[in-house]
């Protein structure tokens, strides 16, 4: 019986090693593509499985569920969803510059619709995949390794003849690193490879004469051409892409903007987001030129139509779309791939160098295999030709032998013992025979019809062709220059059949400058009702409806249409709203919830005071909290750019109960829950910064807190209702700050 062995180890070291092992597994065997074939393991395994299943481009489609199930069972035991997702992406023309799978059925759309379930869709290999990605697998061009349970063999890398990592790009998130390689034009990349093979010392700038820049399946315009050299040199940077906008002239001077190409980054949910953003521009009055927007995209391409008013400024509107929506976006480039078993960020030329080295390795292994087969064929052919010359002797040996073993020994080593010959001469001739093992086997398996004259002639011709092939293969293997010509010839043939015109334009375009239209400044009135709906009306409209406006509104603030409104809350925050962002119009028009147009959240904070920023600049502001803390702050401190700012600092459990304007003559009256009142002069309160807590205004008893604070101008009479009577606050004696005050119940 084995004794149990306990290994003592440092827990942190064990965790560190385990996490590093996991991270490397994700990096190498899941998330990052190999620089040689540009494929992640799941993609490689799926394509190889389709090849093994015989789902060729000229054969019928097969159910995706069959492909996914077979791949999962044999090579990729990580769940069916990841395999099917990889299969779908390889079939989507709007994601891949060169689709590798021919999908049949619903494989999703550019607008983000998902593919149908795998039991409904079908697929097969594309012709290019078969010719340039999976060809020569039978010629020992790549190494094969065991699958996860060592019951099957799978290729370590596919013998891809084109730089797939550049043509189709790649995206993947590993542990602590991510890759993002844009797709490129097939024909341009082939020309770049040829240029490198002719001049291995080529630099990035020279390479970019062939590979101009990314070529996205969705088209668009790359607008930072001058940055591409740096990006392709370092392998990292940002590519700016714009959608393509065309102006169509309609009847009566009503133009429309038509978006025919979108940035690659807008694929999927980005299109719906763009439509919402355009709608928001119109709703928030950033532009009044948009009448309608519709998405008329179909399988024929993108077509988003924006209907405009008569005489609309199309140039400004285009600039607005580029500036305020994702019609201009950034594609972050990080050309990270697995090279020589480790992740590496590479520029354009190093990536092509790895690819070219791989091509020479593939070609060397291919032609070595072909040469070996041709040499074996030559050996057999020479044996058969030689056998034809002594066929009578061979027939005599076969007839006189008791077994195949005996006959073979005679053919290979000239052993004649035990074989009956017609004459001694035949025996002497047989003893001189020296066929090889392979030749002897071929002679013994040869059929009699091969002795027909025409067949012998065909054998001689075949031998000539074999000798020619051997010479050709030896020449290819003996000279790198000759091998390069062979590789280039294959690339030219692929380019001729599969190259397409570039879709993405590349240019230098200046930064979009959006001039905000000058707004004519007018006097308006901000109205906020008790339900939290805000709107603005013209001053004249307010004056005509003053009585109704004052009675129905919780806050009435006079301001300019260029002003900002500050909302002070019990949590010590101030939220800003631009008056221009509020609905403006008739008195009875419905407003907009303040929650929707600011950071104010009515579910967790309450309004205490609302004021116009323009007025606050010249005023002093008094803050009073329920814990009895008070301070004065210069209103100019609240003229900030942020949508939300801390208006005061609060102690734990404290809340603001009063904010208002004060001057040297204002009096403050504080009222507590237990009926304590204290009247003080505002001049006795020190001025603090908005980030300060303040000073104690009233000394409260244990368990007491303020529930009222009143600011009174000189001579103003404020009445407070108590249980059985009213208290006129002007009758209270003026006390000192930080005293207990007087009880009134």
Tell me, what CATH number does 529's domain have? 2.120.10.90
Per-residue pLDDT, 590:
80
Which tops the pLDDT comparison, 456 or 510? 456
Helix axes of 424-431 and 391-400: crossing angle, nearest 10 degrees = 100
Tell me, what CATH number does 372's domain have? 1.10.268.10
**75 occurs within a structural domain:** yes
* 547 shares a domain with 624: yes
Percent of the chain with pLDDT over 90: 61
Residue found under tokens 């000192």: 736
C-alpha distances out from residue 530 to 533, 589, 707, Å: 8, 15, 20
Last residue of a domain, one of 450, 479, 497: 497
**137 occurs within a structural domain:** yes
* 679 shares a domain with 538: yes
What mean pLDDT value characterizes the chain? 90
Range of the domain at 445: 354-497
**555 occurs within a structural domain:** yes
pLDDT tens digits, one per residue of 582-596: 888 788 888 889 888
Percent of the chain with pLDDT over 70: 98
**340 occurs within a structural domain:** no
**100 occurs within a structural domain:** yes
Listed in sequence order, the residues at least 6 apart from 415 whose beta carbon sits closer than 8 Å to its beta carbon are 406, 409, 431
Last residue of a domain, one of 289, 307, 326: 326
Q: Establish whether 120 is a catalytic residue.
A: yes
C-alpha distances out from residue 459 to 67, 390, 451, 637, Å: 44, 16, 10, 101
Per-residue pLDDT, 725:
85
**179 occurs within a structural domain:** no
Tell me, what CATH number does 276's domain have? 3.30.1360.40
- Pick from 106, 102, 104, 80: nearest CA to 91: 102
* 575 shares a domain with 710: yes
* 478 shares a domain with 386: yes
- Pick from 352, 336, 330: nearest CA to 227: 330
Listed in sequence order, the residues at least 6 apart from 632 whose beta carbon sits closer than 8 Å to its beta carbon are 620, 621, 622, 623, 662, 682, 685, 686, 687, 688
pLDDT tens digits, one per residue of 127-186: 999 999 999 999 999 999 999 999 999 999 999 999 999 999 999 888 888 999 999 999
Position 192 confidence tier, pLDDT thresholds 50, 70, 90: very high
* 535 shares a domain with 614: yes
Domain total in the chain = 4
Is residue 1 over pLDDT 60? no
Is residue 718 over pLDDT 90? no
Contact yes or no for 487/162 (Cβ under 8 A): no
Residue found under tokens 């702050």: 633
* 543 shares a domain with 491: no
* 154 shares a domain with 85: yes
Which tops the pLDDT comparison, 37 or 455? 37
* 708 shares a domain with 607: yes
- Pick from 345, 156, 319, 362: nearest CA to 232: 345
* 361 shares a domain with 311: no
Quote the CA–CA distance of 689 and 634 in Å, as a whole number: 8
* 364 shares a domain with 322: no
Instruction: Report helix, strand or coil for 281.
Output: helix
Work out the end-to-end distance of the chain between its first and last CA atoms, rounded to an integer number of angstroms: 90
Given the residues 19, 22, 57, 120, the one annotated as active site: 120
**177 occurs within a structural domain:** no
Tell me, what CATH number does 56's domain have? 3.90.199.10
* 428 shares a domain with 295: no
pLDDT tens digits, one per residue of 277-324: 898 888 777 788 888 999 998 878 899 999 998 888 888 899 899 988
Is residue 14 over pLDDT 80? yes
* 718 shares a domain with 574: yes
pLDDT tens digits, one per residue of 77-100: 989 999 999 999 999 999 998 999
Per-residue pLDDT, 32:
92
Position 555 confidence tier, pLDDT thresholds 50, 70, 90: very high
**658 occurs within a structural domain:** yes
pTM for this structure?
A: 0.74
Phi, psi of 545 (to 5 degrees): -120, 30
Phi, psi of 474 (to 5 degrees): -65, -35
Last residue of a domain, one of 451, 482, 497: 497
């Amino acid at each position: 019986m084995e004794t149990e062995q306990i290994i003592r180890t440092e827990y942190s070291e064990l965790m560190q090693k385990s996490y590093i092992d996991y991270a490397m597994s994700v990096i190498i065997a899941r998330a990052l593509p190999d620089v040689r074939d540009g494929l992640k393991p799941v993609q490689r395994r799926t394509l190889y499985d389709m090849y093994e299943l015989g789902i060729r481009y000229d054969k019928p489609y097969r159910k995706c569920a069959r492909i996914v199930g077979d791949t999962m069972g044999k090579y990729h035991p990580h769940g069916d969803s990841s395999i099917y997702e990889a299969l779908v992406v390889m079939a989507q023309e709007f994601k891949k510059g060169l689709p590798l799978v021919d999908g049949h059925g619903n494989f999703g759309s550019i607008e983000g619709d998902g593919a149908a379930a795998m039991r409904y869709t079908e697929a097969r290999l594309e012709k290019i995949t078969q010719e340039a990605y999976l060809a020569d697998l039978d010629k020992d061009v790549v190494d094969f390794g065991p699958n996860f349970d060592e019951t099957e063999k799978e290729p370590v890398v596919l013998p891809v003849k084109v730089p797939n990592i550049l043509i189709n790009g790649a995206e993947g998130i590993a542990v602590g690193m991510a890759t993002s390689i844009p797709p490129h034009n097939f024909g341009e990349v082939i020309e770049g490879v040829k240029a490198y093979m002719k001049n291995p010392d080529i630099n990035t700038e020279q390479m970019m004469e062939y590979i101009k820049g990314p070529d996205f399946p969705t088209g668009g315009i790359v607008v930072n051409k001058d940055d591409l050299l740096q990006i392709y040199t370092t392998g990292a940077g940002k590519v700016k892409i714009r959608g393509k906008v065309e102006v169509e002239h309609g009847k009566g001077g009503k133009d429309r903007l038509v978006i025919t190409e979108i940035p690659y980054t807008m694929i999927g949910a980005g299109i719906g987001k763009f439509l919402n953003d355009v709608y928001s521009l119109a709703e928030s009055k950033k532009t009044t030129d948009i009448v309608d927007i519709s998405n008329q995209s179909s399988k024929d391409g993108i077509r988003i139509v924006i209907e405009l008013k008569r005489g609309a400024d199309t140039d400004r509107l285009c600039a607005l779309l580029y500036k305020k929506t994702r019609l201009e976006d950034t594609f972050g480039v990080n050309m990270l791939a697995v090279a020589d078993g480790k992740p590496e960020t590479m520029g354009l030329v190093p990536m092509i160098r790895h690819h070219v080295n791989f091509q020479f390795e593939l070609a060397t292994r291919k032609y070595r295999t072909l040469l070996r087969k041709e040499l074996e064929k030559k050996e057999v052919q020479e044996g058969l030709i030689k056998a034809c010359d002594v066929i009578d002797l061979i027939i005599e040996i076969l007839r006189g032998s008791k077994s195949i073993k005996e006959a073979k020994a005679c053919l290979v080593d000239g052993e004649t013992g035990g074989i009956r010959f017609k004459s001694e001469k035949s025996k002497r001739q047989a003893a001189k025979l020296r066929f090889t093992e392979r030749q002897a086997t071929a002679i013994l398996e040869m059929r009699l019809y091969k002795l027909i004259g025409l067949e012998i002639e065909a054998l001689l011709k075949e031998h000539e062709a074999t000798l020619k092939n051997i010479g050709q293969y030896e020449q290819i293997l003996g000279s790198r220059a000759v091998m390069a010509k062979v590789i280039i010839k294959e690339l030219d043939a692929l380019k001729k059949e599969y190259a397409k015109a570039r879709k993405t334009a590349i240019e230098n375009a200046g930064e979009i400058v959006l001039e905000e239209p000058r707004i004519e400044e007018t006097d308006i009135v901000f109205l906020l009702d008790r339900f939290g709906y805000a709107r603005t009306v013209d001053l004249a409209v307010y004056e005509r409806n003053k009585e109704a406006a004052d009675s129905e509104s919780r806050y009435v603030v006079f301001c300019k249409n260029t002003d900002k409104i500050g909302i002070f809350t019990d949590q010590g925050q101030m939220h800003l709203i631009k008056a221009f962002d509020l609905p403006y119009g008739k008195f009875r028009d419905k407003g907009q919830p303040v929650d929707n147009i600011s950071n104010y959240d009515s579910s967790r904070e309450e309004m205490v005071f609302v004021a116009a920023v323009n007025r606050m600049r010249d005023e002093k502001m008094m803050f009073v909290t329920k814990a009895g803390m008070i301070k004065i702050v210069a209103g100019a401190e609240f003229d900030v750019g942020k949508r939300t700012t801390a208006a005061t600092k609060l102690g734990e459990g404290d809340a603001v109960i009063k904010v208002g304007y004060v001057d040297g003559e204002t009096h403050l009256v504080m009222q507590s829950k237990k009926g304590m009142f204290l009247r003080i002069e505002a001049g006795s309160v020190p001025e603090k910064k908005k980030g300060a807590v303040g000073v104690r205004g009233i000394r409260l008893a244990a368990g007491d807190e303020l529930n009222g604070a009143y600011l009174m101008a000189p001579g103003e009479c404020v009445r407070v209702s108590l249980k059985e009577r009213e208290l006129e606050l002007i009758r209270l004696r003026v006390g000192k700050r930080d005293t207990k005050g007087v009880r009134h119940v």
